[in-house]
Amino acid sequence: MSQTEELIVRRDGVAGFLTLNRPKAIHALTAAMDHAMTDALVAWKDDDAVKAVIVDHSEGRGFCAGGDIAFLRNSALTDNGVSGLAFFYEEYQLNHLMTVYPKPIVAFIDGITMGGGVGISQPAKYRVATENTRYAMPETGIGLFPDVGGGWWLSRLPGRLGQYLALTGARIDGSEALWAGLATHYLPVDKLAEAKARIVGGHEIGGVLSALAVTAPEPKLAAHATEIARHFASDRYEHILASLEADDSEWAAKTLATLKTKSPQTCKVALRQLADSAKLGSFAENMVMEYRIAARVLTRPDFAEGVRAVIVDKTNDPKWDPATPEGVTDELIDSIFAPLPADKEWKPL
């Protein structure tokens, strides 16, 4: 077993464990954690004794709250995003490595699973939700964008669910994650230790998880599937807002009010990101696109301002720039998605 302050890497039976260990930060990912996970996965890839990889967390109320947002904001404000972009580059390499990994990965997404936490769990073959799961891609609220592969995973959900989750940043629970296809199994928290023990003992993973799974509660979001599909049908943000404005239901009014708190720039970026990703043939191509977006969005005004308002000062009064959807021009969006110089483009490991 090797242990750093932030990540516990160990072997037990036929399994390699990557245990996130920053409980005070809800296990938010640092560069050191990304490095340690990548190093372990590379080492285990050709180790015949390792049959599976388990990604979980130590104590605390969540699996992973995301990336190290304070570090990224500091980079945007002090070094023109250079260190932040290096963080993204390596994080995206980890996301890609997990997506193409030849051995089964099991992610136990118990508790808060957001942003970067989605990035290291969604590539797993098995994604185990619980009654504590709170799953979200909340980046529109801080002026970032749903990265770490969000374009790939969200664009492939049915019924425009991905567009709804990307724009609103809605938190969904374990039953809703299972219903949406973002989780593969739903287990009670008190069965997780037994599930891990059986996997460690060499039992077939799918069989173990199916045997311990219980029937999830009725997913509340399912009741709004028709409205989501209708109102979020367009890839044009103004059309989505107009559709919601024309609906006098309480759900539409609440959804519209939520969207009006989000960064207009990020909402337009997310819609373009998902639309473009749906046409791509590989996860690597998606990450090339997302890195281009990150290279521009990290140092644009909305990110530092969004983090200030939501996370640093907690005033929830971001002053977005541009302030309106109409102010976010097609030319601006095109510039955010434009290719980087050849020597600056993202590449997989």
**Catalytic residue list contains 143:** no
Q: CA nearest 105: which of 40, 166, 160?
A: 40
> Which residue among 16, 60, 62, 67 is the active-site one?
67
> Which residue among 56, 91, 110, 147 is the active-site one?
147
Give 242's contacts (C-beta < 8 A, 6+ positions apart).
Answer: none
Asked if 107 and 128 touch (Cβ cutoff 8 Å), the reply is yes
Please state whether beta strands 7-12 and 2-3 pair in parallel, antiparallel, or not at all (unpaired).
antiparallel
Q: At how many degrees (to 10) do helices 330-337 and 264-277 cross?
A: 60
For residue 273, how many other CB atoms are within 10 A of its CB?
Answer: 27
Phi then psi dihedrals of residue 10, to 5 deg = -150, 165
Establish whether the linkage from the previous residue to 322 is cis, with ω within 30° of 0: yes
**Catalytic residue list contains 81:** no
**Catalytic residue list contains 39:** no
Cα 324 to Cα 99, 266, 272: the distances in Å are 36, 11, 17
> Which residue among 16, 116, 143, 174 is the active-site one?
116
**Catalytic residue list contains 116:** yes
> Which residue among 139, 173, 176, 290 is the active-site one?
139
- Measured torsion, CA atoms of residues 262, 124, 21, 7, in degrees rounded to the nearest 10: -120
The dihedral built from the CA positions of residue 250, 256, 257 and 258, taken in this order, carries a sign that is positive
Question: Active-site residue numbers?
Answer: 67, 116, 139, 147
